[in-house]
Amino acid sequence: MAEEQGFGVLWYTEWLSSLEAHVHGIKRIIYDGRTKYQRVTLAETGSFGLTLFLDGYAQSSEYDEFVYHESLVHPAMLTHPHPEKVLVIGGGEGATLREVLKHPSVKRAVMVDIDEELVEIVKRYMWKWHRSSFDDPRVELLFMDGKKFVEETSERFDVIILDLTDPVSGTPGVHLYTKEFYETIYDKLTPQGVMVTQATSTRYNVKAFSVINNTVASVFPVARPYKVFVATFYSEWGFALGSKGRDPLKIDKEEISRRLQSLDLRYLDLETFYYLFHIPKYIREEMQKYTQISTRDNPLQIEI
């Protein structure tokens, strides 16, 4: 990330790789500082409106955060026949929690995020994301290591949503994408439980997308990769869904349609739900090149 003045505008450079960058024209910086864990920049950008940057990378923007969050949350929630207890690991903006709470069946939602300072910043400046979801009486908000919580809790959940940072080499996130961690997730799910994790970019990190899905498939009897285009990320973004029971693509369409209609969504409808799971041929062919399963001894690591 770099900042410089030009043509009377502050330019914020987001390096997507060593060979590619996107330059944001900044109208106004709302917040810029460091928490214990990361640098947090909240700025009004020319193209995407209010945008949250973490350690120099766009985390979400008001332009299309709903595309990412609806796509992350609802396929898993709809795959479970009646989700009452939901666990969210990560999701500091509160938007993942916001989408979970739209389901009338939900009686309890636990959100675990390690960065309490970030959540306080979000509460102050990003109401459009959380919509006061942190204050919902169904919510328990915990500030601790998500891996530690999953390993130590005796509670079982219908749906577990992993809204995590990428498994970047040298960071704790590497251990949240391994077979051993997914086996722990499996054990913390109820008999028809469903999990979903963000699975990185299908453009910059197709290997990581493939390996994450391989790893989920090594643990869950039903595993489905899917993706959605997020303009803020300049890429289709990948996800990996694992289910103990139902296959999202074999659920009666009338059920999916009926449950979608009960939700207040901007992006996802019945047609879009099925489109998410349509992986283009060139990506499927690329994915076949990677057979690795991420393990504790040989974890997936993204080099930046």
Strand partners of residue 149? none
User: DSSP assignment, residue 135?
Assistant: G
Query: pLDDT digits over 261-272, tens only?
Result: 999 999 999 999
Query: pLDDT digits over 47-64, tens only?
Result: 999 999 999 999 999 999
Per the structure, the complete domain to which residue 53 belongs is given by 2-61
Known binding residue 38? Answer is: yes
Mean pLDDT, all residues of the chain: 95
- Alpha carbons within 13 angstroms on the beta-carbon side of residue 160 total 29
Enter the pTM of the model.
0.95
Known binding residue 198? Answer is: no
Are residues 113 and 28 both part of a single domain? no
In this predicted structure, the answer to whether residue 38 has a pLDDT above a threshold of 90 is yes
Are residues 22 and 138 both part of a single domain? no
Are residues 214 and 82 both part of a single domain? yes
Please say if 187 is a catalytic residue: no
Are residues 47 and 127 both part of a single domain? no
Q: Which residue has the tokens 């900042």?
A: 3
User: Is 297 within the bounds of a domain?
Assistant: no
In this predicted structure, the answer to whether residue 5 has a pLDDT above a threshold of 90 is no
Known binding residue 69? Answer is: yes
Percent of the chain with pLDDT over 70: 97
Binning pLDDT at 50, 70 and 90, where does residue 19 land? confident
Are residues 207 and 268 both part of a single domain? yes
Sign of the CA dihedral 256, 287, 220, 174?
Answer: negative
Binning pLDDT at 50, 70 and 90, where does residue 7 land? low
Given 11, 43, 61, which residue is the final one in a domain?
61
Provide the domain count of the chain. Answer: 2
- 8 A C-beta contact, residue 46 and residue 24: yes
Known binding residue 116? Answer is: no
Percent of the chain with pLDDT over 90: 90
Query: pLDDT digits over 156-173, tens only?
Result: 999 999 999 999 998 888
CATH number of domain containing 253: 3.40.50.150
Q: What angle do CA 157, 179, 101 make, to 5 degrees?
A: 25
Q: From the candidates 64, 115, 158, 163, give the one annotated as an active-site residue.
A: 163
Strand partners of residue 29? 43
* pLDDT score at 191: 98
Residue (of 71, 49, 52) closest to 123 by Cα position: 52
Query: pLDDT digits over 173-212, tens only?
Result: 899 999 999 999 999 999 999 999 999 999 989 999 999 9
User: DSSP assignment, residue 146?
Assistant: H
Rounded Cα distance between 260 and 245, Å, is 20
